[in-house]
């Protein structure tokens, strides 16, 4: 009896410990991303200088390094690093939630039109020469409207497979908003506004300053908190609708809560950094291979890994060439082959 | 406790599948639902589970309308074993069975040690404790059926409703599932299952309910109800009956 209990607890320990190496790798990626992002660049900072600046900040005295080093770390790279982490974590968490909710490992956060809605909002903001803050707000609003429209149409179309209807509606509404983006670009002033729109649509963190962090952090923290709080129910939500209900989950309200939270974090990150595709598709898979499919572990792991992933991509984007490479292009270059590989391997599993 | 449907009309928004159906199931009893494809078996099952609202009539559970109970309350009283399907995500068998504990915790609850104990106990009861850490996607169809049954047991319900529990199972596993169904009833659960094989009803059920074209053809103790004539009428096809000292079996003609 005691032996049995002992073996059980040992097995359980082993079971819970099996996720530890996965989390360790995710945290290691994040730390590597942080160190690289803060030190590498046009103005290289040595690791020693970085640590003395960080230590001095913690201890509250002035570091014995050149003032330029301090300003590079706190004013130039600091906000950008925090934004990259938040955007990466947001997209990864939203992608994880959407993949679970739609029971499809090939969907990503923009599946319900959040990205294209936010993009239309932003280009309209640029076209009307709004302030940066107003552009962010209207982008955010655009994302929520797009998802709201998708959801309303999906709910009013009667079907045996509401999820499929929702995803297809997302594709259709997304392309309509995409056409709207095209129209605004066509009408825009080609010397002043068009480059800003194009640049923003391709995804970039180069213009991120301290003032951008709060409007990004608020929605991302709120949405991610909701998703992480619901992570135990997310397992059941990834089952077919009727099974989930038979297990005691009120699927309707819960699905709305998850979609709203995931849209919130997606829109906030699109409003700050433009459209950065693929992160929400690639990172959940990497996280799943590290800690397994259980959302209780998967969501936190995806958030950590997503932050590290986008930090590494952003560092690459600003150091690879003489000019900055837009983030959306880099993530697509990595994401496309990944998606093809995924499609092939997933089909093998399904058959 | 009794689960019953009174004068049920069943169906979907655009079409009625069956009407005037009365069903009753008590604790400790096994009821088999038989009938041809498209006869309304699954629709009736889902209506009794509360997954589909009846078009008319009422489903009652323990003396109160099923619709007056929340989804969570229902899940603590009736468990559903769906037909096995291929899962999207490779959850461990233990995680799948733990999902059966959902209705016992609140919205944000993590599984407690009590939940893990119940899950382990149910895996043990069905003799699949060794599978606990295996991915659900990497086990056989028969094992999956048992895992879904363990998940239903982990709900600690009063009733278990199984949708064609023997479909896609080999001969040996079919026998195992039938034995488990008898054992569930012996432990006090009310069991309702659909099947395409009258022999399974004969072997595992106390009563049979014959459903064709959304109408009840007959209902009663299996020994009385399952006759060659009735089965021929039910399926609209010839049926042979084979009898020897050990019992009766039906074979499609």
- Is A201 part of any domain? no
- Contact criterion met (CB < 8 Å) for A240 and B14: no
pLDDT at A217 over 50: yes
CA distance B37 to chain A (A): 19
Q: What is the pLDDT of residue A347?
A: 53
Nearest residue in B to A14, CA atom: B133
Q: What is the mean pLDDT of residues B44-54?
A: 95
- Is A57 part of any domain? no
- Is A202 part of any domain? no
**In chain B, what percentage of residues exceed pLDDT 70?**
100
Q: What is the pLDDT of residue A7?
A: 44
**A292 and A19 Cβ atoms separated by less than 8 Å:** yes
Q: Mind listing the pLDDT tens digit for each residue in B6-17? A: 999 999 888 899
- Is A336 part of any domain? yes
- Is A78 part of any domain? no
- Contact criterion met (CB < 8 Å) for B108 and A296: no
- Is B99 part of any domain? no
A14 — pLDDT class (breaks 50, 70, 90): very low
Q: What is the pLDDT of residue A319?
A: 92
B156 — pLDDT class (breaks 50, 70, 90): very high
- Is B167 part of any domain? no
pLDDT at A8 over 90: no
pLDDT at A128 over 60: yes
Q: What is the mean pLDDT of residues B130-159?
A: 93
Q: What is the mean pLDDT of residues B77-99?
A: 90
Tell me which of A344 and B25 has the higher pLDDT: B25
- Is B10 part of any domain? yes
Q: What is the ipTM of this complex?
A: 0.93
- Contact criterion met (CB < 8 Å) for A246 and B78: yes
Q: Mind listing the pLDDT tens digit for each residue in A151-191? A: 888 878 877 777 788 888 988 999 999 999 999 999 999 99
- Is B191 part of any domain? yes
Query: Largest Cα–Cα distance of chain A, in whole Å?
Result: 80
Q: Mind listing the pLDDT tens digit for each residue in A256-313? A: 899 889 988 988 888 888 889 889 989 999 999 899 999 999 999 999 999 999 999 9
Best mutation target, B107, B138, B192, to test chain A (most A CBs within 10 A) = B107
pLDDT at A350 over 60: no
CA distance A92 to chain B (A): 17
Asked which of A8-17, A289-298, A317-326 is least confident by mean pLDDT, the reply is A8-17
pLDDT at A147 over 90: no
**B122 and B99 Cβ atoms separated by less than 8 Å:** no
Size of interface A-B (CB pairs under 8 A): 83
> Which alpha helices (H) appear in A61-207, and where do they start and end?
67-71, 78-101, 114-127, 132-156, 162-187, 193-202
pLDDT at B188 over 50: yes
A346 — pLDDT class (breaks 50, 70, 90): low
- Is B177 part of any domain? no
The count of domains in chain B is: 1
Nearest residue in A to B89, CA atom: A293
**B173 and B126 Cβ atoms separated by less than 8 Å:** no
Q: Mind listing the pLDDT tens digit for each residue in A52-109? A: 888 888 888 888 888 888 888 888 899 999 999 999 999 999 999 999 988 877 778 7
Q: What is the CATH number of the domain that holds B52?
A: 3.40.50.300
A245 — pLDDT class (breaks 50, 70, 90): very high
- Mean predicted lDDT score pLDDT of chain B: 93
- Contact criterion met (CB < 8 Å) for A245 and B110: no
Q: What is the pLDDT of residue A13?
A: 41
- Is B130 part of any domain? no
**A208 and A215 Cβ atoms separated by less than 8 Å:** no
> Which of the residue ranges A270-279, B34-43, B92-101 has the most confident prediction, judged by mean pLDDT?
B92-101
B72 — pLDDT class (breaks 50, 70, 90): very high
What does the alpha-carbon distance between residue B215 and residue A288 come to, in Å, rounded to a whole number?
Answer: 48
Residue B189 belongs to what domain range? 1-71+185-253
- Contact criterion met (CB < 8 Å) for B13 and A242: no
- Contact criterion met (CB < 8 Å) for A246 and B49: yes
Q: What is the mean pLDDT of residues B37-55?
A: 93
Instruction: Find residue B33's DSSP bridge partners.
Output: B194, B209
- Is B252 part of any domain? yes
Q: What is the mean pLDDT of residues A332-341?
A: 87
Question: Does any CB of chain A come closer than 8 Å to the CB of residue B76?
Answer: yes
- Is A298 part of any domain? yes
Query: Residue A79: how many CB atoms within 10 A of its CB?
Result: 18
Identify the CA nearest to B38 among candidates B248, B236, B247, B238.
B236
Tell me which of A342 and A223 has the higher pLDDT: A223
pLDDT at B179 over 50: yes
Q: What are phi and psi of B58, to 5 degrees?
A: -150, 145
Identify the CA nearest to B88 among candidates A186, A24, A164, A238.
A238
Query: Residue B171: how many CB atoms within 10 A of its CB?
Result: 8
Residue A288 belongs to what domain range? 277-342
- Is A301 part of any domain? yes
The contact set of A with B (CB < 8 A) is 8, 12, 15, 100, 103-105, 158, 229-230, 232-233, 235-236, 238-240, 242-243, 245-250, 254, 288, 292-294, 296, 349-350
The count of domains in chain A is: 1
- Is B54 part of any domain? yes
């Amino acid at each position: 009896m005691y032996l049995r209990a002992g073996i059980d607890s040992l097995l359980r320990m082993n079971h819970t410990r099996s996720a530890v190496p996965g989390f360790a790798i995710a945290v290691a990626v994040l730390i590597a991303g942080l160190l690289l992002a803060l030190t590498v660049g046009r103005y290289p900072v040595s690791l020693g200088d970085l640590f003395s600046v960080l230590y001095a900040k913690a201890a509250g005295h002035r570091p014995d390094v050149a003032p330029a080093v301090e300003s590079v770390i706190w004013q130039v790279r600091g906000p950008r690093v925090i934004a990259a982490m938040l955007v990466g974590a947001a997209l990864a968490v939203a992608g994880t939630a959407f993949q679970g909710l739609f029971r499809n490992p090939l969907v990503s956060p923009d599946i319900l039109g959040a990205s294209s809605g936010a993009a239309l909002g932003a280009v309209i903001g640029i076209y009307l020469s709004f302030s940066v803050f107003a552009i962010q707000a209207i982008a955010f609003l655009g994302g929520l409207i797009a998802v709201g429209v998708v959801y309303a149409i999906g709910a009013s179309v009667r079907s045996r497979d509401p999820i499929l209807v929702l995803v297809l509606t997302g594709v259709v509404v997304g392309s309509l908003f995409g056409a709207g983006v095209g129209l605004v670009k066509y009408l825009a002033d080609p010397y002043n506004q068009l480059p800003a729109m194009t640049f923003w649509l391709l995804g970039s963190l180069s213009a991120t300053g301290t003032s951008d962090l709060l409007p990004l952090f608020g929605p991302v923290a709120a949405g991610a908190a909701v998703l992480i709080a619901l992570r135990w129910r997310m397992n059941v939500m990834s089952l077919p609708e009727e099974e989930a209900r038979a297990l005691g989950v009120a699927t309707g309200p819960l699905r709305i809560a998850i979609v709203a939270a995931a849209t919130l974090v997606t829109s906030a990150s699109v409003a700050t950094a433009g459209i950065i595709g693929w992160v929400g598709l690639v990172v959940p898979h990497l996280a799943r291979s590290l800690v397994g499919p259980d959302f209780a572990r998967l969501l936190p792991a995806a958030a950590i890994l997503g932050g590290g992933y986008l930090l590494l991509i952003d560092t690459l984007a600003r150091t690879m060439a003489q000019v900055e490479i837009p983030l959306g292009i880099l993530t697509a270059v990595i994401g496309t082959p990944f998606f093809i590989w995924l499609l092939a391997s997933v089909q093998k599993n399904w058959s | 406790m009794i689960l019953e449907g009174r004068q049920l009309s069943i169906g979907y928004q655009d079409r009625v599948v069956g009407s005037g159906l009365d069903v009753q199931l008590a604790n400790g009893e096994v009821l088999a639902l038989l009938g041809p494809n498209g006869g309304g078996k699954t629709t009736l099952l889902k209506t009794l589970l509360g997954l589909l609202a009846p078009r008319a009539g009422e489903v009652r559970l323990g003396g109160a309308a099923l619709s007056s109970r929340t989804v969570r309350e229902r899940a603590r009283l009736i468990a559903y074993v769906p037909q096995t399907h291929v899962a999207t995500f490779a959850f461990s068998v233990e995680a799948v069975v733990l999902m059966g504990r959902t209705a016992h915790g609140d919205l944000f609850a993590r599984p407690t040690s009590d939940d893990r104990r119940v899950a382990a106990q149910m895996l043990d009861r069905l003799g699949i404790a060794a599978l606990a850490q295996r991915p659900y996607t990497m086990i056989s169809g028969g094992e999956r059926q048992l895992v879904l049954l363990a998940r239903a047991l982990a709900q600690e319900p009063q009733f278990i409703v199984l949708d064609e529990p023997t479909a896609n199972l080999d001969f040996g596993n079919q026998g195992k599932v039938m034995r488990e169904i008898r054992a569930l009833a012996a432990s006090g659960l009310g069991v309702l299952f659909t099947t395409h094989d009258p022999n399974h009803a004969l072997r595992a059920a106390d009563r049979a309910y014959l459903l064709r074209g959304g109408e009840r053809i007959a209902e009663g103790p299996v020994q009385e109800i399952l006759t060659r004539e009735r089965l021929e009428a039910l399926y609209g096809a010839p049926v042979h009956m084979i009898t020897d000292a050990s019992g009766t079996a039906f074979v499609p003609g």
